[in-house]
């Protein structure tokens, strides 16, 4: 089964959230895209300026996405999606188990349904986009940055 043959994972990933890990930290993202560009499979992860994960992405150039089965990992998603790795060791606090990734140096969350391992090809800050509801999504100016990750492993 390949990424684009089965998009069911998107129901889970982009509704309740998926774990995005970089540099040993883990956060939650529920926005994102998969597609094909430059002859590669690409995962685009929108990460806001304020996230510790952004620092880790810029430092390591790699990230993993661990997609839980629908309805699972509820308390872990809530914790990792609201607390920063600057303040907490989220593995320790949630009891989640980090497992070494197969094709990048990072880790994935044990027990999820689907995994993507990505190498960052580049990043684009949002810049001056004509978003009709800027006030709704960006009241504090904490903008998204689009990280383009080449999918180097998926399982
Ligand atoms: C369901 C859900 C979806 C989220 N989606 C995103 C997202 O797509 N991009 C983002 O930057 N933050 C998103 N967040 C917020 C981060 O996960 C949250 O701010 C986290 O504490 C950041 O952790 P860090 O500072 O350790 O990177 C989401 C949170 C939840 C609960």
pLDDT score for 68: 94
Domains of the chain: total: 1
77: domain CATH number is: 2.30.110.10
The pTM assigned to this predicted structure is 0.93
1 within domain boundaries: no
31 within domain boundaries: yes
Using the structure block, give the residue that is written with the tokens 């990992």.
73
Q: Whose CA is nearest to atom 31 of ligand 1?
A: 81
3 within domain boundaries: no
Which structure tokens are listed for 55? Answer: 């620092």
CA of 4 to the centre of ligand 1 (A): 25
For ligand 1, mutation pick of 27, 58, 78, 87 (most atoms within 8 Å of CB): 27
90 within domain boundaries: yes
Residues 6+ apart with CB under 8 A from 112: 18, 19, 66, 67, 68, 69, 73
Regarding the beta carbon of 30 and ligand 1, being less than 6 Å apart is answered yes
What is the block-wise mean pLDDT of the chain (155 residues), using blocks of 10 residues? 52 77 96 92 96 98 95 96 98 98 98 96 88 80 95 97
CA 26, 32, 34, 35 dihedral sign is negative
Q: Do 24 and 58 form a contact (C-beta atoms < 8 A)?
A: no
pLDDT score for 9: 62
4 within domain boundaries: no
Domain span including residue 73: 9-154
2 within domain boundaries: no
SS3 at position 106: coil
């Amino acid at each position: 089964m390949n990424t684009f043959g089965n998009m069911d994972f998107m129901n889970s990933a982009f509704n309740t959230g998926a774990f995005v890990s970089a540099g040993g930290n883990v956060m939650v993202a529920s926005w994102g895209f998969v597609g094909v560009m430059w002859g590669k499979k690409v995962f685009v992860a929108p990460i806001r300026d304020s996230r510790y994960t952004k620092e880790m992405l810029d430092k390591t150039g790699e990230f993993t996405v661990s997609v839980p089965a629908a309805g699972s990992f509820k308390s872990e998603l809530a914790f990792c999606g609201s607390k920063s790795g600057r303040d907490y060791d989220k593995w320790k606090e949630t009891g989640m188990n980090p497992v070494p990734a197969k094709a990048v140096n990072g880790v994935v969350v044990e027990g999820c349904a689907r995994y993507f391992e990505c190498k960052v090809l580049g990043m684009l800050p949002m810049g001056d986009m004509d978003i009709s509801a800027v006030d709704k999504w960006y009241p504090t100016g904490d903008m998204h940055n689009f990280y383009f990750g080449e999918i180097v492993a998926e399982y």
